[in-house]
Amino acid sequence: MEVVKIRIFIDSSKLDEIKKAHSAGILDGVTTNPSLIKAAVKALKDRGENVDMSGYIKEILMLAKGLPVSLEVIGTTYDEMIEDGKKIYDTFNPVAGNVYVKIPVNPSFEEDSGKNFDGIMAIKELSSMGIPINCTLVFTPEQALLAAKAGASFVSPFAGRIDDYIRSQNGIEFNKSDYFPADGYEQGEKILEDNGIVSGIDLVGQIRVIFNNYGITETKVLAASIRNPRQAREAALAGADIATLPMDVIDSLLVHYKTIEGMKKFTEDIVPEYAELLER
């Protein structure tokens, strides 16, 4: 059996955040999407800076040299996604050789759009050209299975957004970072679910089981839309190969009241002889 090593990506397009996570020595990759790019551009404009999008993306790629960086297409048909995917890869991969093209598993805006397979076909075509693909907006294990079959390198189940969906479908109010139980949310006697998925972490776990059943090792399970450190832990327990985390979640991975309390006490108790030894 393959030894699964959890990898941590940062889900951000902000250079300062990517730098911070990278300099801590714990970063294994970067994921971006149009919403994250929008937030990064806004932050730059708010500081009065001009935005050269191409140069900005190149800076991210250089910063993360040696680590995969996902950049998303904007087209919503097979042809557009192939065109965008090739353009993204040809323009940006030469910078540091670390570009993954992000393709939505299904680019439809409605159920009967007639293009449910456009994402999968684009994944198959682009990956057959040697372009590594991160298949995004995955909300069911069967979407993940088809993406793996098409040759995606990563599949990205959106854990937090499944939890949002289950809560909002059942009239539960919540804040974005609120914890959602991995084993499901009990309302009265019943566990809430979305077509057999009881939480975002359950989605990650079901994909893991299916991939294990079929020996799928080329496609990595990248747990995305992770909102708090406990969910990051549970993604690891569920067998995610990778978790992509926003900076605030990365920061909070190391915080515990008793660690802080212990630090204060140990620091108070340093005797001069010990301090001298370490020249402090």
Of the pair 123, 242, the CB lying nearest ligand G3P is at 242
Residue 64, both tokens: 């993360």
DSSP 8-state secondary structure symbol assigned to residue 188: T
Of the pair 165, 212, the CB lying nearest ligand G3P is at 165
Vertex 50: Cα angle to 48 and 51 (nearest 5): 125
244 binds ligand G3P (CB under 6 A): yes
Q: How far is the CB of 40 from ligand G3P (least distance, A)?
A: 12
206 binds ligand G3P (CB under 6 A): no
| CB contact set of 90 (below 8 Å; sequence gap of 6+) | none
Size of the site for ligand G3P (CB under 6 A): 11
DSSP 8-state secondary structure symbol assigned to residue 194: B
154 contacts 135 by C-beta, under 8 angstroms: yes
Provide the mask over 144-183, with x wherever binding to ligand G3P is found by CB under 6 A and - wherever it is not.
Answer: --------------x-xx----------------------
Of the pair 136, 206, the CB lying nearest ligand G3P is at 136
41 contacts 21 by C-beta, under 8 angstroms: no
Is there a catalytic annotation at residue 264? no
Q: How far is the CB of 279 from ligand G3P (least distance, A)?
A: 46
SS3 content of the chain, % helix, strand, coil (to 5): 45, 15, 40
Pick from 93, 219, 225, 231 the residue near ligand G3P by CB under 6 A.
225
Residues 20-79 interacting with ligand G3P (rule: CB under 6 A): 31, 33, 36
Choice among 87, 102, 124, 220 that is catalytic: 102
Question: In a 3-state reduction of DSSP, which class is residue 189?
Answer: coil
Of 132, 136, 125, 128, nearest to 103 by C-alpha is 136
Of the pair 123, 155, the CB lying nearest ligand G3P is at 155
Which residue(s) pair with 70 in the sheet? 31, 100
Question: In a 3-state reduction of DSSP, which class is residue 26?
Answer: coil
- 89-116 burial: b if 16+ Cβ within 10 Å, else e: beebbebbebbbbbbbbbbbeeeeeebe
224 binds ligand G3P (CB under 6 A): yes
Q: How far is the CB of 21 from ligand G3P (least distance, A)?
A: 15
Of the pair 75, 157, the CB lying nearest ligand G3P is at 157
Q: Which stretch binds ligand G3P (CB under 6 A): 47-55, 185-193, 198-206, 224-232?
A: 224-232
Q: How far is the CB of 164 from ligand G3P (least distance, A)?
A: 7
70 contacts 134 by C-beta, under 8 angstroms: yes
Which sequence positions are flagged as catalytic?
Answer: 102
What residues make contact with ligand G3P under the rule CB under 6 A? Answer: 11, 31, 33, 36, 158, 160-161, 224-225, 227, 244
